DNA sequence: GCCGTTTTCGGCCCGACTGTTTTCAGTCG
């Protein structure tokens, strides 16, 4: 397993998470959520936090959703000095690895507080030692079962790999949906959550099924061959650990409420909280069973009466929460709230609800829009298939053109092409273009960018190509100024059409190189150079934030697979 | 601590499951 040092954004996210948990431990109202939101915002932005801060300072930070004066000051202090005074004080008062312990499923702030107060547990290792001494079961409100469950969780955590890449989880999820759909009694089945939102990485697989006999579905679900162990099993909600190392949650509901459940479990959490707050302000309440008109008389008694609480637990019982207004489709729920329906990919709890209200949601490119592929590798360098095989596979996927963009000579260890072999490859492509009907192969390259910004192929060689992509494969650690200058110099070459995987990040393995993206996009516009959205799962480069910025700057984008095999 | 086409002050999302309890706190998503 690769170990990567924490980035500044990750450190900040962790700090705010610990502040949040600390307030939770002390039963402080509302602050936990405020800090939690900042923790998540910062994590989602990644190194963009620093870019925002560099450009706009504290004022710029305060523009970020959920970030106010106090948290903006804290971020500013951290980025200026490398630490936050208030956080250091917290650590002195409570020297516990809150974040580390929180990674254990079932351990939250209150438990962390108890474990420290009664057993002096500060770290995950401390917890392992204490577990061996079997003292945990004697804590108030703990018992043998909680102790055993905790031991099991710790073992499972060591075996788990955390979040996984979308492109690699999706096929497994599709297979499970197929198998669940075949179970007798299942009306509809689909995946929701981060998978449906098509996030770069997913932490678990959220599944929804509709049926009149939920218990039967649960019994069948836990017996699927993909299941390694059962974490939670109830009538309508079950969680399992899959053999591929991540969890899958299944919710079974009546078919009539499919839309509400789909909406609820697509999330993300922030989007849903914003939506439920909006619902409240309009006199509704929203849950996974539908949108309900709140009855004024029932609100006051709700919190206290056990009977009302039980009614709430069977929300379909008429009169539990109010009168049902919408539940069949997502669209009718959003419409009742005065909103257009945002595509799942946009439901991130940012500005999409505002845009939905103003009918200004951006139109996403529909799946199936891509007509060609302008980055692929073949056996000429490090690909697994010949140009002809790749071309035929591309055609079979409905594409009408493809560029064979093999690496260049600097990457000698994977047989990068020099000018002579590039010319030979050109002849092969001429031959194939005569042979292939309704499909065009482009002569091209993924030309390496040297440390000084010069290119790996001569201008005379580049001039003969249909499509020139350039990319960085070495010297990832240059300073922001040097790296930006290097890339812009390369982009200024008049034969260059596109920058491939501009930030060079590998999700979970390598941080992006340091670039001033504003300057890069300005140069892209000036030299009419496109930027790539590389869809290799661990790259996804440019990423979401940069794509938005590039579009805003008027820069052309190209979506490629960077496929190394058919 | 944050936020505002009902508010710059007074609000702040919702329900399932578990374990240890006899009515609920804690955790999770």
Task: Give the pLDDT confidence score for residue A309 in this predicted structure.
Answer: 38
Length A108 CA → B3 C1' (Å): 27
CA angle A151–A155–A160, rounded 5-degree value: 140
Q: SS3 of A443, please?
A: strand
| Nearest nt (C1') from A338 Cα | B5
3-state DSSP call for residue A420?
helix
Q: Which two tokens stand for residue A516?
A: 């001033």
Round to whole Å and give the CA distance between A210 and A186.
Answer: 6
Instruction: Give the residue nearest to nucleotide B3 (CA to C1').
Output: A66
Query: Whose CA is closest to A455, among A501, A487, A424?
Result: A487
Please check the confidence at residue A493 and state whether its pLDDT lies above 60: yes
Percent residues over pLDDT 90 in chain A: 72
- Report CA(A95)–C1'(B26) in Å, whole number: 22
Instruction: Extract the tokens encoding A348.
Output: 């991130």
CB-strand contact A67/B, under 7 Å:
yes
- By C1' distance from the Cα of A321, the closest nucleotide is B14
User: Residue A156 CB closer than 7 angstroms to strand B?
Assistant: no
CA A395 to chain centre: 30
pLDDT digits (tens, 9 = 90+) for A121-180: 999 989 998 888 888 888 888 888 888 888 888 887 777 667 899 988 999 999 999 999
Quick: pLDDT tens for A9-50.
989 999 999 999 999 999 998 999 899 989 988 988 888 899
Position A226 scores a pLDDT of 92
Q: Determine the average pLDDT of the residues in A81-105.
A: 93
Q: Which of A114-118, A312-316, A404-408 has the lowest mean pLDDT?
A: A312-316
Q: Is the CB of A283 under 7 A from strand B?
A: no
Structure confidence at residue A361 as a pLDDT band (50, 70, 90): very high
What's the mean pLDDT when you consider all of chain A?
90
Residue A450 has pLDDT above 90, yes or no: yes
Q: Does residue A513 have a pLDDT over 50?
A: yes
Nucleotide whose C1' lies closest to the alpha carbon of residue A106: B27
A350 CA, B27 C1': Å apart: 26
């Amino acid at each position: 397993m690769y170990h990567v040092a924490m980035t500044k954004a990750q450190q900040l996210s962790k700090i705010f998470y610990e502040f949040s948990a600390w307030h939770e431990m002390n039963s402080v109202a509302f602050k936990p959520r405020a800090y939690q939101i900042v923790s998540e915002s910062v994590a989602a932005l990644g190194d963009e936090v620093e870019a925002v801060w560099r450009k706009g300072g504290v004022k710029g930070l305060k523009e970020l959703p959920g970030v106010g004066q106090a948290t903006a000051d804290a971020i500013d202090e951290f980025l200026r000095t490398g630490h936050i005074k208030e956080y250091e004080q917290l650590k002195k008062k409570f020297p516990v690895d809150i974040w580390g312990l929180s990674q254990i499923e079932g351990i939250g702030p209150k438990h962390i507080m108890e474990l420290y107060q009664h057993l002096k547990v500060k770290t995950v290792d401390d917890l392992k030692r204490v577990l061996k001494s079997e003292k945990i079961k004697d804590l108030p409100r703990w018992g043998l079962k909680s102790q055993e469950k905790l031991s099991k969780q710790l073992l499972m955590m060591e075996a788990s790999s955390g979040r996984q890449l979308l492109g690699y989880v999706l096929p497994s999820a599709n297979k499970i949906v197929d198998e669940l759909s075949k179970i007798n009694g299942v009306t509809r089945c689909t995946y929701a959550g981060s998978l449906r939102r098509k996030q770069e990485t997913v932490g678990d697989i959220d599944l929804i099924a509709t049926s009149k006999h939920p218990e039967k579905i649960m019994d069948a679900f836990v017996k699927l061959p993909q299941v390694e162990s059962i974490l939670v099993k109830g009538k309508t909600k079950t969680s399992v650990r899959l053999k591929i190392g991540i969890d899958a949650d299944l919710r079974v509901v009546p078919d009539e409420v499919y839309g509400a459940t789909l909406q609820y479990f697509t999330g993300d959490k922030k989007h849903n909280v914003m939506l439920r707050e909006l619902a409240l302000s309009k006199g509704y309440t929203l849950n996974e069973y539908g949108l309900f008109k709140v009855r004024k008389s029932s609100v006051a008694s709700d919190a206290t009466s056990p009977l009302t609480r039980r009614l709430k637990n069977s929300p379909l019982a008429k009169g539990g929460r109010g009168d049902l207004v919408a539940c069949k489709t997502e669209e009718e729920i959003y419409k009742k709230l005065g909103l257009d329906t945002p595509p799942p990919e946009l439901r991130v709890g940012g500005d999409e609800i505002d845009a939905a209200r103003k009918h200004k949601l951006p139109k996403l490119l529909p799946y199936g829009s891509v007509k060609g592929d302008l980055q692929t590798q073949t056996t000429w360098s490090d690909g697994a298939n010949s140009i002809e095989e790749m071309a035929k596979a591309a055609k079979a996927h409905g594409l009408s053109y493809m560029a064979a963009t093999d690496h260049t000579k600097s990457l000698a260890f994977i047989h990068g092409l020099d000018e002579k072999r590039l010319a030979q490859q050109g002849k092969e492509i001429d031959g194939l273009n005569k042979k292939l009907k309704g499909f065009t192969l482009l002569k091209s390259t993924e030309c390496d960018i040297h440390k000084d910004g010069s290119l790996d192929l001569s201008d005379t060689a580049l001039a003969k190509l249909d499509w020139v992509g350039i990319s960085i494969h070495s010297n990832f650690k240059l300073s922001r100024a040097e790296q930006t200058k290097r890339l812009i110099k390369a982009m200024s070459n008049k034969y260059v059409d596109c920058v491939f995987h501009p930030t060079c990040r590998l999700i979970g393995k390598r941080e992006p190189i340091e670039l001033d993206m504003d300057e890069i996009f300005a140069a892209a516009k000036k030299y009419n150079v496109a930027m790539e959205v590389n869809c290799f799962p661990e790259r996804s480069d440019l990423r979401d934030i940069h794509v938005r910025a590039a579009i805003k700057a008027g820069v052309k984008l190209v979506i490629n697979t960077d496929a190394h095999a058919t």
